[in-house]
Amino acid sequence: MLSGEFGVGTSSPMELIDVTSQLQDIIAKNNIAQGLCTIFNPHTTAGVTINEGADPDVQDDIIGAIRRIVPSDYPYKHREGNSPSHVMATLTGSSVSLFVAQGQLQLGTWQRIFFCEFDGPRQRKLTWQILSG
């Protein structure tokens, strides 16, 4: 089993960052032909998701829809002021797992892996683990 981490810098309060290439590079560097790759986000105001990466408007639509689902004017009790970010992170989740076959992450034609920032800008990290075999 292999594991590690890499950094992700965000520049906006909310944004989706494509991290597919970083994971694919890790798989190639370690000569992983087949296995299971899991990426985990250890932050409570950010998430990880898989969605379309071909049209950047999809990322804008996801952020816009999440903003409508999670109102900023709800009477949150958490005193730090970032409760909406915690709720948004719950909606996207904290990890994704993907099959690796023939040295490639098994994603659909348009799919990419995104780190979802909901409380930026910040320096974040993602951890990964690969079970090969």
Model confidence pLDDT, tens digit, residues 107-128: 999 999 999 999 999 999 999 9
pTM as predicted: 0.95
- Low-confidence spans in the chain with pLDDT less than 70: none
Cα 123 to Cα 21: distance, rounded to the nearest angstrom: 18
List domains and CATH numbers for the chain: 2-132 (2.60.120.460)
- Per-residue pLDDT at 133: 84
Nearest to 46 by CA among 97, 113, 119, 100: 119
pLDDT for 86: 97
